Chain A
Amino acid sequence: MFLDYIQFVLAPQMVTGLSLGMAVVLVALGLTIIFGLLDVINMAHGEFYALGAYLALALGASGVSFWLLIVIVPLLMMPIGYVVERGLIQRVFNMPDRHVTTLLLTFGLGLVLEEGLKVVFGPTTQRPATPIPGAVEVMGVILPTYRMFLIGLGAAIVIAVALVVNKTRLGAMVRAAAFDRNMAASLGVPVERVFAGTFAFGVALAGLAGVLLAPIYSVFPTMGRDFIFLAFTVVIVGGMGSIAGAVVAGLVITQIQALSSLVVSPVWSDPIVFSIMVLVLVLRPQGLFGRLGHG
């Protein structure tokens, strides 16, 4: 009886939670890197995620294979992110109250992007076919193959990003620019390009998340909005600017959500997530982990 419960209820629920967790981690990763380096809260991040999903949908409809999309869409998102950073965010970067100003600016950008998606793609919900259909059986538990793939790929991406940031010369430049902008600049780091590049990278991650999640959560213009609260919570709980924090917080929070929904109505999932956020903010305002480039 108990084993049955684990096999048919608990385990599938945890895997569903884990795949959602990976999804949230991918979105939160871009958010946290952008904050950690640029000190910018990207309110348009959810809309970049939606844009990635729509690009995948449009390209997929014209015959591009899913595997190619995983590569193409982030590459398409990079220049968009780069232009947004140089054209918009740099303009207000040195105004007083950078947090609020950039937040407002990206909030406006999000509005425009979301409405733009409605104009171009229509307001209806669309759902691309699952790229890897079927299910696999692991120790008697039946799990959808695509979700397993998503978990694996998500883990690989997170590890790759962490390696790039922590082990490469490029990563060292990024961290140096985050730690002390002026010092890094005086040592020859092209700080402005690093900033724009990092923003582009974060946006590309959001786009990649869009490609990967479209087959599970469907594609609609406001899809970013539904996701962003969770992603922000993850970033706050994990510590703004911390990659490890985003991963740990993302996985833990989605597991709490998944498992609590077995006991209480899913209606309470938002309040539960919010209470976690408030609790962490009250006890440890800087979040669970430190900040990118700081220690």
Chain B
Amino acid sequence: MVDINVVEAKGTARPKRVIDRLGLAMRASHVLVALFVVAALIFAAVGVIQDDRFFLRLGTEALIFAGLALSVDILLGYTGLLSLGQALYFGLGAYVSAVVLKEVPSFWAAMAAALVVALVIGFLAGLIANRVRGVYFALVTFGLAQVAARAVYNTRSLGASDGLIGVPVVPIDLGVITVMSNSPAGFFLFTLGFIVVLYAVCAYLLDTPFGRVLLALRANERRVPSLGYSTRNLRLSAYVLAAVIASLSGALYPMLRGFVSPELLFFTTSGNAVITVVIGGVGTLAGALYGGVILTVLKSVIGSLTEHHLIVIGLLFMATVIFLPKGIMGVVRPLIERMLRGGKR
């Protein structure tokens, strides 16, 4: 067991890396994500043995929406800003990917296009949204998504209310192997890897001084500029990062389902992502992945009993807000942290 309480740096060869409370929490998140991956691999193995299609594809969808939740968590957990319109970027990525795939069936072209579009739109929308805080931010992001959804809904060339259908199956060339997007297990594993990479990128960025200053910004916005940081650029960067994560996740959607519809941009999609993050645990990143799976499981289990499953999910959500403000990760992660600390203190 590595002793991570060591703070002294002796003048010897290399000072030991100092791990503080936040670093420890991040490590605990890594452990939880590792457990998540193991569980997902077992799930995939069982799926392959059972020759299952339905559950593997449902699992893939859960992972894709977990990517969207991850982007909500970056904003809510690290800058304290609640986005009620993250579906904007998810839908954007999905539509861009669908349009590109229908022209050139190239996975990398679709992903690159989704990335570029998210960077550009995220930057422009971020300039607007980051002028305001708190409640206003929630409503501006809500409004932006609303406008985009209406625009898509009324654009004939994007399929209007029907969406775009007939997105072809694409081969995903990973250099070593090629995964077909219609292979249930293959695409599930690919999506799992993809979302873990997204998680790793976020976790890395948010563990750097960039992430620390974001948290400081959340704690006290007035003091941060006096320490020499530009709050505007920081918040804008976090916003664009969230946009990119949402867009890249969305870009996988048409590969899985073969179509995109305007519902992807609707408030329901944004709202679900918020529910996912809150149930999973705000500001933990791993919570988004767990929340995504929990929500999907709840939906299909309760949904098979009653079509009004939203009542149950809504009540669970309210109970989480009141009784477990830190979500499921708020209960689980401290246990992992204690284990990592080696049972000390």
Say whether A255 faces chain B, with CB atoms less than 8 Å apart.
no
A274 x B267 contact (CB < 8 A): no
Cα distance A105–B310 in the bound complex, in angstroms: 15
Write out the residue numbers on chain A whose beta carbons fall within 8 Å of the beta carbon of B318. 88, 105, 108-109, 112
Cα distance A225–B142 in the bound complex, in angstroms: 12
A104 x B321 contact (CB < 8 A): yes
Say whether B176 faces chain A, with CB atoms less than 8 Å apart.
no
- Which residue in B135, B308, B314 is a CB contact (below 8 Å) of A41? B135
Say whether B227 faces chain A, with CB atoms less than 8 Å apart.
no
Say whether B322 faces chain A, with CB atoms less than 8 Å apart.
yes
- Which residue in B82, B143, B311, B315 is a CB contact (below 8 Å) of A274? B143
Chain B 313-330: CB-based contact to A (< 8 A → 1; otherwise 0): 111011001100100000
Write out the residue numbers on chain A whose beta carbons fall within 8 Å of the beta carbon of B132. 281, 285
A105 x B322 contact (CB < 8 A): yes
Given contacts A107-B271, A111-B310, A111-B313, 19 further A-B contacts (CB under 8 A): A91-B322, A99-B135, A103-B82, A104-B82, A104-B321, A108-B318, A108-B321, A111-B271, A112-B315, A115-B308, A115-B310, A115-B314, A119-B308, A232-B142, A233-B139, A236-B139, A270-B147, A271-B147, A281-B132
Say whether A139 faces chain B, with CB atoms less than 8 Å apart.
no
Write out the residue numbers on chain B whose beta carbons fall within 8 Å of the beta carbon of A110. 314
Name the interface size band of chain B: 35 or more
Q: Measured between C-beta atoms, what is the minimum distance from B252 to chain A in Å?
A: 26
A116 x B140 contact (CB < 8 A): no
A100-B80 CB under 8 A given contacts A229-B142, A233-B143, A274-B147: yes
Chain A 182-222: CB-based contact to B (< 8 A → 1; otherwise 0): 00000000000000000000000000000000000000000
Write out the residue numbers on chain A whose beta carbons fall within 8 Å of the beta carbon of B128. 278, 282
Write out the residue numbers on chain A whose beta carbons fall within 8 Å of the beta carbon of B267. 225
Cα distance A134–B240 in the bound complex, in angstroms: 55
B82 x A100 contact (CB < 8 A): yes
Write out the residue numbers on chain B whose beta carbons fall within 8 Å of the beta carbon of A104. 82, 274, 278, 317, 321
Write out the residue numbers on chain A whose beta carbons fall within 8 Å of the beta carbon of B147. 270-271, 274
Say whether A240 faces chain B, with CB atoms less than 8 Å apart.
yes
A285-B131 CB under 8 A given contacts A92-B322, A105-B321, A232-B139: yes
Say whether B336 faces chain A, with CB atoms less than 8 Å apart.
no
Show 5 residue pairs from A and B whose CB-CB distance is below 8 angstroms, ordered by the A residue: A108-B314, A111-B313, A119-B311, A232-B142, A282-B131
Cα distance A119–B311 in the bound complex, in angstroms: 10
Say whether B146 faces chain A, with CB atoms less than 8 Å apart.
yes
B136 x A95 contact (CB < 8 A): no
Cα distance A115–B299 in the bound complex, in angstroms: 14
Say whether A97 faces chain B, with CB atoms less than 8 Å apart.
yes
Cα distance A282–B138 in the bound complex, in angstroms: 15
Chain B 259-286: CB-based contact to A (< 8 A → 1; otherwise 0): 0000000010001001100100000000
The chain B residue with its CB closest to the CB of A240 is: B135
A277 x B321 contact (CB < 8 A): no
Say whether B294 faces chain A, with CB atoms less than 8 Å apart.
no
Cα distance A253–B34 in the bound complex, in angstroms: 52
Cα distance A15–B142 in the bound complex, in angstroms: 29
Q: Measured between C-beta atoms, what is the minimum distance from B8 to chain A in Å?
A: 34
A111-B139 CB under 8 A given contacts A119-B311, A278-B128, A282-B131: no
A267 x B154 contact (CB < 8 A): yes
Say whether A118 faces chain B, with CB atoms less than 8 Å apart.
yes
Cα distance A101–B134 in the bound complex, in angstroms: 11
Write out the residue numbers on chain A whose beta carbons fall within 8 Å of the beta carbon of B139. 232-233, 236, 277
B314 x A111 contact (CB < 8 A): yes
Highest count of chain B CB atoms <10 Å: which of A108, A118, A236, A282? A108
B143 x A278 contact (CB < 8 A): yes
8 A Cβ contacts from A90-139 to B: 91-92, 95, 97, 99-101, 103-105, 107-112, 114-116, 118-119
The chain A residue with its CB closest to the CB of B317 is: A108
Write out the residue numbers on chain A whose beta carbons fall within 8 Å of the beta carbon of B131. 281-282, 285
Write out the residue numbers on chain A whose beta carbons fall within 8 Å of the beta carbon of B322. 88, 91-92, 105
Q: Measured between C-beta atoms, what is the minimum distance from A9 to chain B in Å?
A: 24
Say whether B180 faces chain A, with CB atoms less than 8 Å apart.
no
8 A Cβ contacts from A145-165 to B: none
Chain B 90-126: CB-based contact to A (< 8 A → 1; otherwise 0): 0000000000000000000000000000000000000
The chain A residue with its CB closest to the CB of B318 is: A108
Write out the residue numbers on chain B whose beta carbons fall within 8 Å of the beta carbon of A99. 134-135
Cα distance A109–B140 in the bound complex, in angstroms: 21
Chain B 58-93: CB-based contact to A (< 8 A → 1; otherwise 0): 000000000000000000100010100000000000
Write out the residue numbers on chain A whose beta carbons fall within 8 Å of the beta carbon of B274. 104, 107
A115-B311 CB under 8 A given contacts A109-B318, A236-B136: yes
Write out the residue numbers on chain A whose beta carbons fall within 8 Å of the beta carbon of B315. 108, 112
A-B pairs, top 6 by smallest CB distance, nearest first, are A111-B314, A112-B314, A108-B318, A108-B317, A115-B310, A115-B311
Q: Measured between C-beta atoms, what is the minimum distance from B263 to chain A in Å?
A: 13
Cα distance A267–B131 in the bound complex, in angstroms: 27
The chain B residue with its CB closest to the CB of A100 is: B82
Highest count of chain A CB atoms <10 Å: which of B76, B143, B147, B154? B143
